[in-house]
Amino acid sequence: MRRMLINAIEIKKLRIALIDGQQLYDLNVENIDKKQRKSNIYKGKIVRIEPSLEAAFVDYGEKKNGFLPLKEISRNYFPNNCSNYRHLHIKNILKEGQECIVQIDKEERGTKGALLTTFISLAGNYLVLMPNCPHLEGISRKIEGIDRFHLKKIISMLMVPENMGIIIRTSGVGRSIETLQLDLNFRVKNWYTIKKSAEINTAPCLIHKESNIVIRTLRDYLKKDIQEIIVDNPEILELARDYMFNMNCSYFEKKIKLYTGSDPLFSYYKIESQINALLRRIVKLPSGGSIIIDYTEALTAIDINSSQSTKGVNIEETAFNTNYEAVREIARQLRLRDLGGLIVIDFIDMSVLKHQKMIELHLHQVLQKDRARVQVGSISQFGLLEMSRQCLGSPLKKINHNYLFEMQKC
C-alpha cells in the first residue's frame, strides 16, 4: 500500500515521506526557521550589467544580489525594433536601474547568489502556466504514447490567453478539458494578481510566495495510487483538507487521517532508520556490495564496490549483477537526497560491451520515476558515467545540521 506520511509535530522540521509498504521512495524535508525562496517571484532592480558574463545582477530584496543570465531574459524585455534576437548583447537589452519581474530558479549556494529567471512559471495541479512564453503548448516528457496523443488534442481546445503558454503535467493525464481549463483559469488569475502587485509596489520586493511544503507536496505528488494520507498534526490536517476542497480533490478527502499513536509517526511505519541512513556515505546492497556517495564542490561522486558480493559465477557476471543492482539504489538515493548538478558514477569494470549497454538502459528506466530533469551520458572506457540532475529543493545534506558529524562516524 502506498501512503503519504506528513510529520509536522516537530518544532524545527516538517517532513513528508512517500512509502510503498515499508519502503521509503520519496522524501521532502523543510526547516521551519529557514526561508525557502525557490520559485518565489520578486520585483527587482538591475544594479549591475556584466557584459563579460552576458548577465545582470539584480537586487531583489535579499543580502546577496541575484544572477540573471542572458538566456533567462524573456523577449518581453527586448527592444521593440529588434529583428535579430540571437546576436543581441545584454547591454542592449537591460539598463542599470531598470525594474523587472524575476523568479528564483536556484537558491543561493555558498558565495553564489540566487539564479534568477524572467521566464515565470506557475505550477498548478495539472498544468504549468508560462505567462512569458507565447504559443507554448508543451506536454511533460514523461507522458508517452496514446496519453500524449490525447493531450495534444485537448491542449488545442483549451482557452489559453494570448502571449501565454502552458505545459501539461503528468497528473493531467486522464483529466477532462473542463478540469484542465479550471486549473488554467486559476493560474491566469494568479498571474494577473502578481502583475498588479508589481505595479503598485516599489522594487525590490516580494510579490508572490511559493506555497509551503505541504501544499507543494500535495500538488506535485498526490496521485490515485496514494491510498492513505496520514498526518500527525491537526492544524496541518485541516490545511491539507482545505487545499483538497478548494482544488476539488474530493477523491482524496476520504483518505486523509489524523495519526494519534503513542510512537512517533515515522517510527511506527519503520522509516526513521531509512531516513537516518541517508546521511551516511556508504549504502549497503542486498547482495553484499555497496555504493559510496561523496560530495565535492564540483560534483557528486558515486563509487560502486562488489565488496562481499557473490552474485555471479565469474568476475564479469559478478560485476554486471552488482552494477545492475546498484543502479536501482542509486536512482533511489538521488531522489531521496535530492542530489543535483553533475554526478559521476564509477561502475565496476565490465569487459562485455553488451553488459555496459544493459546497465545504461536500466539506468534510463529507473530514472523515469524521478520528477527532476535528468541528462545521462554513456559509460566511458574508464568505467565512468556522467549525468546531471535538477535539484528540486534543498539537498538533505544541507538541511540536516548533523550531516558532517554523521559522515565522520562512517
**Which residues lie closer than 8 Å to 268 by C-beta, 6 or more apart?**
259, 261
220 carries a ligand binding annotation: no
Q: Which three cell numbers stand for residue 250?
A: 474530493
- Give the torsion through C-alpha atoms of 205, 209, 213, 214, to 10 deg: 150
Sequence-distant (≥ 6) Cβ neighbours of residue 231 within 8 angstroms: 6, 8, 237, 240, 256, 257, 258, 259
Which of 184, 183, 185, 190 is closest to 248 using CA atoms?
183
- Amino acid identity, position 47: V
263 is in an annotated binding site: no
Q: Give a three-class secondary structure readout of the chain.
A: CEEEEEECCCCCEEEEEEEECCEEEEEEEEECCCCCCCCCEEEEEEEEEECCCCEEEEECCCCCCEEEEHHHCCHHHCCCCCCCHHHCCHHHCCCCCCEEEEEEEECCECCECCEEECCCCEECCCEEEECCCCCCEEECCCCCHHHHHHHHHHHHHCCCCCCCEEEECHHHCCCCHHHHHHHHHHHHHHHHHHHHHHHHCCCCEEEECCCCHHHHHHHHHCCCCCCEEEECCHHHHHHHHHHHHHCCCHHHHCCEEECCCCCCHHHHCCCHHHHHHCCCCEEECCCCCEEEEEECCCCEEEEEECCCCCCCCCHHHHHHHHHHHHHHHHHHHHHHHCCCEEEEEECCCCCCHHHHHHHHHHHHHHHHHCCCCEEEEEECCCCEEEEEECCCCCCHHHHCCCHHHHHHHC
As annotated, the binding site includes 303, 346
Which residues does the annotation place in the binding site for Mg(2+)? 303, 346
